[in-house]
A and B are shown apart, each in its own frame.
Chain A
Amino acid sequence: RKEVEQDPGPFNVPEGATVAFNCTYSNSASQSFFWYRQDCRKEPKLLMSVYSSGNEDGRFTAQLNRASQYISLLIRDSKLSDSATYLCVVIPDSNYQLIWGAGTKLIIKP
């Protein structure tokens, strides 16, 4: 089993819809979690950190489910500009190295 797993997609979603995807992790002691977004041929950019209590930033909501060992990203009222690959990142307990998922590709269609 991979340390961090994501559905590669692509998710084809009409503009204005709500879309959600998950990322599962294998190390139950993992402490920190992030969502990054990567546009085609660009560098990954930090989208949001994922806190135990969950967090929301505008149309984006991230949640952590420790019992089932996954994090989720919800995008409401999706825009064409949300089309990108969304990367899940996990930092294992007391470890420095970020473990990256392979990413979920999202395509928002007009």
Chain B
Amino acid sequence: NAGVMQNPRHLVRRRGQEARLRCSPMKGHSHVYWYRQLPEEGLKFMVYLQKENIIDESGMPKERFSAEFPKEGPSILRIQQVVRGDSAAYFCASSPRGNNEQFFGPGTRLTVL
């Protein structure tokens, strides 16, 4: 049973470009969470999704950031017009139920030049 998969593992973008991060949850998991982690800081919750639904996006900036989890395919975190402050590690986690322990993917390290 493959774990949570994220790609790309490393992503470099110039200011103003778009970043698209993908997350495939563990088999049988329909709950996906996105977190951001700045260097030397803790995890910050961004958004929680179930298939085709955003359950909670309270941690996600209102502008430039969006997330989806379509019926088919991976969950996507999209950052438009990236700025240097978006440079961070973005982790995706999945769980079989909403109030259950979460399993993490290896993360995508975004660097904005």
Contact = CB atoms under 8 A, between A and B. Distances in A.
A101 B107 contact: no
A96 B49 CA distance: 11
Contacts of A46: 101-103
A5 B45 CA distance: 16
Interface in B21-62: 31, 33, 41-43, 45, 48, 55-56
A35 to B, nearest CB: 10
Interface residues of A toward B: which range? 20 to 34
Contact of B43 (A44, A49, A96): A44
B1 interface: no
Nearest to B103: A46
Contacts of A32: 99, 101
B7 to A, nearest CB: 14
A96 B41 contact: no
Nearest to B4: A43
Interface string A37-77: 00001111110010000000000000000000000000000
B63 to A, nearest CB: 23
Contact of B99 (A44, A91, A101, A103): A91
Contacts of B103: 46
Given A96-B48, A97-B48, A34 B41 contact: no
A98 B102 contact: yes
Contacts of B56: 96-97
Contacts of A89: 101
Interface string A14-42: 00000000000000000110100000011
Interface string B80-113: 0000000001010000001101111111000000
Interface in A81-109: 87, 89, 91, 94-98, 100-103
14 contacts: A32-B101, A43-B104, A43-B106, A44-B91, A46-B102, A91-B99, A94-B99, A96-B31, A96-B48, A96-B98, A97-B56, A98-B33, A98-B45, A100-B42
